[in-house]
Amino acid sequence: MKVDIERAKEALLNGEVVAIPTETVYGLGGWIESPEGIQKIFLTKERPFFDPLIVHIDSIEKAKLLSSEWTEIHQVLAESCWPGPLTLIAKKASHIDSYITSGLDSVGIRCPNHPLTLKLLSLIPGGVAAPSANKFGKTSPTRFEHVEREFEGNVKILDGGPCEIGIESTVAGIENGEVKIYRPGFYTAQALSKILQDQNLNVPVLYAQSPVAPGQLKHHYMPNIPLVIIPENGTWETLKGPIEKQLEKKFSSPALWLQPENPLITSRELYEKMRSFEQQGNDIILCVQNKEWQSEDWKAIWNRLEKAKTISLI
């Protein structure tokens, strides 16, 4: 149900959860100083406790209070990318509840770029922990209506309209003097590297190979109908047999999904599209691999599709 900023603030400070709009996806927020609010995030999402949460703040000053070791690299990236789709992992301050960090000694911090949420965050001391506002493992919500449907109208929502970016933030941390990207997003390794170089910080920026970030599970973002990645020249006529055999099921209404050429438009529509095929009555999604899939600008999109897929025929 819709709430305004004042009611959202009261609910958070009372230990309730509130869904908040960001430029990436909607988050399911709980006040970091309310153990009850934090518990409710996990319960509402049906999320396992080993998956740490990101804390949202509205200023670098607040971010520094959450961390016991805020480095020059953190400062430069925060100044350049915030408010925006970058989550920075930093050593945690001792007062942060270990439920938020899943017992890790680090914490994910992000300043989202959405006017309503920035206003709300300015009214909340400490910060607001928020994972994406979907049931665990499912497609992230990019519109008010998605959150409303996901939790059957039982969650308070600050309606901020459709999300601009459409996929989750880049998650980056520092390991042995190198910046490591644990989850690809709008900010690529190349983009972060340039920001650091411009400030005379010659720090390598690399994608983490193994899923060291907890919660980076193999299956994630999954729609309720099967999603199959198919080659560019694939057709339903030729693929129907092998797909039905592998999935041990018959399908009657396939949706052929071609990505737009522009990665920004593709990411903005990505989760919306995944949901709408099902709404339109399709019973399987055939996602066509495009030529660009290996380029860095498409990395985050294909990372999500790889995890959302049921099978791949590539």
Residues that bind ligand TXA (CB under 6 A): 22, 24-25, 27, 51-54, 87, 89, 101, 104, 106-108, 110, 112, 130-132, 168-169, 171, 182, 213-216
Q: Which residue of the chain is nearest Mg ion when measured via CB?
A: 132
Smallest separation, CB 169 to Mg ion (Å): 10
In whole angstroms, the minimum distance from the beta carbon of 131 to ligand TXA comes to 3
Q: Binding string to Mg ion for residues 119 to 148, with x set by CB under 5 A, is what?
A: -------------x----------------
Closer Cβ to ligand TXA, 25 or 243, answer by number? 25
State which residue, 26 or 144, has the beta carbon closest to Mg ion. 26
CB of 144 to Mg ion, least distance (A): 17
CB nearer to Mg ion: pick between 87 and 132: 132
Give the one entry of ligand TXA, Mg ion, none that residue 87 binds, where binding means its C-beta sits below a cut-off of 5 to 8 angstroms depending on kind.
Answer: ligand TXA
**Cα 204 to Cα 152: distance, rounded to the nearest angstrom:** 45
Binding residue count for Mg ion, defined by CB under 5 A: 1
Nearer to ligand TXA, 171 or 196 (CB): 171
Question: For residues 89 and 63, is the Cβ–Cβ distance under 8 A?
Answer: no
- Quote the least distance from Cβ 87 to ligand TXA, whole Å: 5
Q: Choose the one of ligand TXA, Mg ion, none that binds residue 169, judging by a C-beta under 5 to 8 angstroms depending on kind.
A: ligand TXA
Question: Whose Cβ is closer to Mg ion: residue 132's or residue 169's?
Answer: 132
Q: Which is nearer to ligand TXA, 117 or 290 (CB)?
A: 117
The site partner of 112 among Mg ion, ligand TXA, none (C-beta below 5 to 8 Å per kind) is ligand TXA
Q: Which residues are CB-neighbours of 66 under 8 A, at least 6 positions away?
A: 55, 57, 90, 92, 93, 96, 107, 109, 126, 127
CA distance 23 to 117: 10
Contact 208, 182 (CB under 8 A): yes
Whole-number CA gyration radius for the chain: 20
Phi, psi of 88, rounded to the nearest 5 degrees = -105, 130
Note whether 24 binds Mg ion by CB under 5 A: no
Paired residues of 29 in beta bridges: 18
Q: C-beta of 103: minimal distance to ligand TXA in Å?
A: 10
Nearer to Mg ion, 53 or 203 (CB): 53
Residue numbers at the binding site for Mg ion (CB under 5 A): 132
